Chains A and B, each alone.
Chain A
Amino acid sequence: MSNGPLEIKAISGHSGPVPGQDVSRDYDVCKLVDTTTCIGCKACEVACLEWNGYEFRETTFDNTYQTMPDTAWNFWNLIRFNEHENDDGTLSWLMRKDQCMHCEDPGCLAACPAEGAIVQYKNGIVDFNQANCIGCQYCVTGCPFDIPKFNNVTKKVYKCTLCSDRVGAGLEPACIKACPTGCLHFGSKDDMKALANRRVNQLKEAHKDAGVYDPEGVGGTHVIYVLHDAKNPEKYGGLPADPRVPLMVRLWKGPLKWLGGMGMIFGVLGVFIHRVKYGPKHVDKVEEKRP
């Protein structure tokens, strides 16, 4: 989490109006990951580690080129490698850069109880502020992409910041800077969508199901993918076809919260009225004969 001069849109666990409005220039930022030109070189993995100052962690060979099975609290950017045999007998080796998707409607933020632990900036970046994080991991529960990762020592949750510190200073995220093939792009959401659609049109020649991944279920994301096969995003290492903030989280943070609140208020009111109307019970004093 940075203190970059970005305009805040929403913060977690906060009941009133949002503080820190109208701070700085902003536009709707977006990272475009063109999986069809990604070569899985992992430059983004290293750039992410180095920019964010995370050091070496042990890994084990696991029958794959993938660095580790999943992202980690100090490893936010992971290329997922998947071999896939196509119907026409050809092979695809799909490489997808996995990181926080920076949802427009972030499930993590909805679920977070800690005030200001999660900040959504007007430009679309969803950022964690570990100073306010209480380590409850409700954000993990709220995230349909399984992105936030808990550190058992600091008891805080971490994830990709979309380099809010760099973006706030007018730079592109570190992964974008490091990408050698230019499969990563960064700019306004409109521009990135246009670029992605142009590439998709080109791809349709050979891949009829090519498409842009910008899931509606979470209000669209500020990280979008170009996929050869947008109909089956799962084969790109578990990219959900229709990610949504879990229904139970919605119910919990919506109706249940209001019902519970109302219930408590009316409950207190109810017993108060009862007390006023009926008063206390009286015990009839009967002197009994002692044995």
Chain B
Amino acid sequence: MTNGWIDIKNTDVMLIMGGNPAENHPCGFKWAIEAKKNRNAKIISVDPRFTRTSSVADHFVQIRAGSDIAFLGGIINFILSNGRINKEYLVNYTNAALIVKEGFKLPDNGVFSGWDDETKRYKDISTWNYEEGGDLTPKDAATFAATASTLVKPPAAPAAKGAAAHAAPPPKPAKVVKPAAAAAAGAPATPPPPSLPPNVAYDLSLQHERCVYQLLKKQFSKYTPENVSKITGADPEKFKKAADMFTSIRDKGDTKKVGTIIYSVGWTQHTYGAQIIRTAAMIQLLLGNVGRAGGGVNALRGHSNIQGATDMAGVFDILPGYLKLPVPADKDFNTYVTRTTPKSAKPKEWDSYNYWSNTPKFAVSLLKAFYGDAAKKENDWAFHYLSKIDRKYSWAEIWDNMYKGTVKGLMAWGMNGVAIGPNSNKNIEALKRADWLVVCDIYPEETSSFWQSPGITEEEQKKINTTVYRLPGAGFAEKDGTFVNSARWLKWKYIALEPPGDARRDHEILATIFVKVRELYQKEKDDPKTKFPDAIRDVSWQYVNPKAPTFTEMAKEINGKALADLKDEKTGQEIKAGQQLPGFAWLKDDGTTTSANWLYCGSWTEAGAQSQRRGQEDPSGLGIYPNYAWSWPANRRVMYNRASCDLNGKPWDSDRTQVKWNDALQRWAGNDVPDFKVDSHPKDHMGPFIMTPEGTGRLFVPLAGMADGPFPEHYEPMESPVENLFHPKQSSSPVAKSFKSDKDKYGTPKDGFDVVCTTYRLTEHYHYWTKNNPVNHQLVPEPFIEISEDMAKEKGINGGDKLKVSSARGEYYGKALVTKRIKALQLGDDKKKVYPIGIPIHWAYRGIREDREREKGNTTYLNPINMLSPAAIDPNAYTPEFKGFLVKVEKA
């Protein structure tokens, strides 16, 4: 979330799409209700079915699962054609005015420029970049007048400070435009890969035909309400009402009101999931909603600590704090940080904080935390101990590798790989081929029981040679430590009860394994067969009990400490060696600081655990609660909050002031912690988006930022009932990853797979655990499949009938829930009738119901839902397409 849960109460309108917070985040959803009750805020719910969220929404639109970019693209088109923008914000805080390289081509035929049809990849993305050249704003009077209010000023000379420099500035002399060809010629023809130009060209009047704004207009002109309707199946009037309702906050030039976009895995779980979220971010940038109380783009995380898992590198290609993992080409530390540290790339007259320029400080402090004294300047801070990633090790790829036989074993902690899927049949088959499997869980779940999955006979079970180790882990209430919620709060929790029986806290099991492995390395260090023992031997493991580190020890370690006496020259503040660091601004690249995650630096200071704070004060009334828990980064609650003010540093809405420029103090201050260089005067024109080298929000993502193109484009899911309306020849995303094994099959309407299936969770259950809990089991006892009334009528299905749902990959069984909440869709020019269905994910073959059925000998109805879903993944986030795949439905 750019904002936070409580902040939702400050909004005027909510677009809830790709998520069902009333169902899956009922506690957080209270803030949506608060906004509704206290601000009369409106909720727009867009979903493949009428959900619990829709039940309290002011407007509901049903769309086809997987057509989200079309719907959001339609909103962008609506914004642009109706002038529903915050122009000052758009020109100054986003890259709308920046000019894109000549030769950049929009995906009219389904691909952007640089596509190589032979190798089927984007071979040359050098045109996905800004033009170099400075101010190209036409200088005639008319355009000047049009842009006067938002015109950028050159960096103020000290003498100009305090003067009435905020009035219309004198027109600057026109710059000589460098021919684009010349710029291109200046660039080397071969790698190193293209980088952003240092002096980006811009046109503040937004008239230049290659400025981002004009390209955006062109790109989204085809997303008309009619086309949106043909793709999504939404009624055009209902779409228009939704677009109008959400963008009404910018009606008639209003800049006070604010809207928020709330989403969840309904957006991420597509082969173009990251681009859906980008489309939403673009809407928010156009409307000027990012950085503002009650605004932002807000991801609702699906587990209590998934945000923490991501921050701490629960993703294969990052290190804690979103530092990039080294690749084999990073031959030394310097190469690595040069590659991963972005250089400021902006119009010359603008300013950019480019906070990622601190990457070396974060990286050295991280290596010091990992390897302690063994990380020295002389050995490149032990950089070579880090594994260098040679290929993708994403979730679906791990299973594919195991299926192919290259991965021989799996340690599964805190997840249930078979049930999670996708393509569970393949995962089960992969586990059959593995040598060993270690599962640490609190229940005997599907993964550790993969050999008991439906359809495996006793004869076949005898032939499975995988050795399975089940380790009894501990539940969440049996551990302390922090949870990091969607609002990025680190909140300490306490142990409610001890783990039962032989169960142990998961990290203690892991620590014991580590200590054992290290002992082996030490014992056999002279054995020539022992390879590369240093990386294990030199790990910093400074815990009182090495086999059972406490979470307190680890939390302090993650925060980091000073290794030498430090002094801030500006403030005179001193930190003694050994003291906890108060924040990441103190991190150094000379080895005098440690921090195992720079983002969490400040969470456990000399003042104690900030995550344990429970202060109830909220002086602003905006729900900031600055003394409650601790929010990364630096305890700020709303990210990019500089953007909540206009160019002069005055809040767009003074009733919702987060920070503002304080002229007396000559710094940014307010209710929240400024997410900005605090002493950067508004006249300096520093971009509020301090994490991009441009300092602006990106409507256009240059270079390799997005694997599937600088702008979002509507693509069909890997399995789609219709062809892409815009470019039937390139129906699905050209760069979506799918697999080639015999288990990776895809269905088409021609083969009878003509029903669009989407999957989701229920309030009553939590993933694949709560089927083991009697009360949850009582609330919803068995699997069901939601189908529309007309589909039920056509197929002669009554509510409660047993259904068989099959995809090209597997089958699923459940009872029919016939509902008015899902309706048949009409798609395309020929109004093709398509039935959508929905299936909750929670059941499989282990649990109260499941174990009972098995005892009775009924194994037919115990398939995991993800036997249906395809292992097709997003090229940016590697998330599988759990939503919007094709199935057929029959009575069982």
- Whether A56 lies near B777 (C-beta < 8 A) is yes
Residues of A within 8 A of B691 (CB): none
- Whether B30 lies near A181 (C-beta < 8 A) is yes
- Whether A61 lies near B784 (C-beta < 8 A) is yes
Query: Residue-by-residue, is B300-324 near A (CB-CB < 8 Å gives 1, otherwise 0)?
Result: 0000000000000000000000000
Within A33-67, the residues touching B (CB, 8 Å) are: 36-43, 45-46, 49-50, 55-65, 67
Residues of A within 8 A of B37 (CB): 37, 182, 199, 202
CB nearest to A94 among chain B residues: B55
Binds B, one of A85-93, A159-167, A216-224: A85-93
- Whether B763 lies near A40 (C-beta < 8 A) is yes
- Whether A37 lies near B779 (C-beta < 8 A) is no
Residues of B within 8 A of A40 (CB): 52, 55, 763
Residues of B within 8 A of A182 (CB): 30, 33-34, 37
Binds A, one of B363-371, B678-686, B813-821, B866-874: B813-821
Q: Does A270 contact B (CB under 8 A)?
A: no
Q: Does A95 contact B (CB under 8 A)?
A: yes
Within B34-61, the residues touching A (CB, 8 Å) are: 34, 36-37, 40, 50, 52-56, 58, 60
Within A111-153, the residues touching B (CB, 8 Å) are: none
- Whether B52 lies near A93 (C-beta < 8 A) is yes
In this complex, which of B27, B779, B815 has the most chain A Cβ atoms within 10 angstroms of its Cβ?
B779
Q: Does A180 contact B (CB under 8 A)?
A: yes
Within B18-42, the residues touching A (CB, 8 Å) are: 22-23, 26-27, 29-30, 33-34, 36-37, 40
- Whether A91 lies near B821 (C-beta < 8 A) is yes
Q: Does B781 contact A (CB under 8 A)?
A: yes
Residues of A within 8 A of B763 (CB): 39-42
- Whether B50 lies near A91 (C-beta < 8 A) is yes
Residues of A within 8 A of B777 (CB): 56
- Whether B26 lies near A41 (C-beta < 8 A) is yes
In this complex, which of B55, B58, B817, B820 has the most chain A Cβ atoms within 10 angstroms of its Cβ?
B55
From residue A264, how far is it (CB to closest CB) to chain B in Å? 51
CB nearest to B59 among chain A residues: A90
Q: How large is the interface on B (under 10, 10 to 19, 20 to 34, 35 or more residues)?
A: 35 or more
Q: Does A183 contact B (CB under 8 A)?
A: yes
Residues of B within 8 A of A92 (CB): 55
From residue A36, how far is it (CB to closest CB) to chain B in Å? 7
Residues of B within 8 A of A58 (CB): 778, 781
Q: Does A234 contact B (CB under 8 A)?
A: no
Q: Does A83 contact B (CB under 8 A)?
A: yes
Residues of B within 8 A of A64 (CB): 799, 817
In this complex, which of A38, A91, A202 has the most chain B Cβ atoms within 10 angstroms of its Cβ?
A91
- Whether B779 lies near A93 (C-beta < 8 A) is no
Query: Residue-by-residue, is B764-806 near A (CB-CB < 8 Å gives 1, otherwise 0)?
Result: 1000000000110111111010000000000000011000000
- Whether A83 lies near B781 (C-beta < 8 A) is no
From residue A285, how far is it (CB to closest CB) to chain B in Å? 81
Residues of A within 8 A of B60 (CB): 90-91
- Whether B800 lies near A63 (C-beta < 8 A) is yes
Q: Does A271 contact B (CB under 8 A)?
A: no
- Whether A39 lies near B775 (C-beta < 8 A) is no
CB nearest to B818 among chain A residues: A63
- Whether B821 lies near A93 (C-beta < 8 A) is yes
A40 to B52, CA, bound (A): 7
A39 to B815, CA, bound (A): 23
CB nearest to B764 among chain A residues: A42
From residue B836, how far is it (CB to closest CB) to chain A in Å? 15
Partner of B56, one of A36, A56, A61, A90: A36
Q: Does A247 contact B (CB under 8 A)?
A: no
Q: Does A206 contact B (CB under 8 A)?
A: yes
Residues of B within 8 A of A183 (CB): 33
A92 to B50, CA, bound (A): 9
Residues of B within 8 A of A93 (CB): 50, 52, 54-55, 821
Residues of A within 8 A of B800 (CB): 61-63
Partner of B36, one of A37, A55, A57: A37
Residues of B within 8 A of A85 (CB): 820
- Whether B779 lies near A61 (C-beta < 8 A) is no
Residues of A within 8 A of B778 (CB): 56-59, 67
In this complex, which of A43, A50, A57, A83 has the most chain B Cβ atoms within 10 angstroms of its Cβ?
A83
- Whether B27 lies near A39 (C-beta < 8 A) is no
A46 to B56, CA, bound (A): 22
Residues of A within 8 A of B50 (CB): 91, 93
Query: Residue-by-residue, is A186-216 near B (CB-CB < 8 Å gives 1, otherwise 0)?
Result: 0000000000000100100110000000000
- Whether B821 lies near A181 (C-beta < 8 A) is no
From residue B128, how far is it (CB to closest CB) to chain A in Å? 43
- Whether B779 lies near A67 (C-beta < 8 A) is yes
Partner of B55, one of A46, A67, A95: A95
Query: Residue-by-residue, is B807-828 near A (CB-CB < 8 Å gives 1, otherwise 0)?
Result: 0000000011111110000000
Given A46-B779, A58-B781, A39 and B820 contact (CB-CB distance below 8 Å): no
A199 to B40, CA, bound (A): 10
A206 to B59, CA, bound (A): 11
Residues of A within 8 A of B816 (CB): 63
A233 to B850, CA, bound (A): 39
Residues of A within 8 A of B784 (CB): 61
Given A39-B26, A91-B50, A181-B30, A59 and B781 contact (CB-CB distance below 8 Å): yes
Residues of A within 8 A of B53 (CB): 39
Given A58-B781, A60-B781, A39 and B29 contact (CB-CB distance below 8 Å): yes
Residues of A within 8 A of B54 (CB): 91, 93
CB nearest to B28 among chain A residues: A180
Partner of A39, one of B22, B34, B781: B22
Can you list 25 A-B pairs with a CB-CB distance of less than 8 A? A36-B56, A37-B37, A37-B56, A39-B26, A39-B52, A39-B56, A40-B55, A42-B763, A42-B779, A43-B26, A56-B775, A56-B777, A56-B778, A58-B778, A61-B781, A63-B800, A63-B817, A63-B818, A67-B779, A83-B819, A83-B821, A91-B60, A181-B30, A181-B33, A202-B37
Other 15 A-B pairs with CB < 8 A, given A63-B818, A91-B820: A36-B56, A39-B29, A39-B53, A39-B763, A40-B52, A42-B764, A50-B775, A65-B780, A83-B820, A91-B54, A93-B50, A94-B55, A180-B29, A182-B33, A205-B40
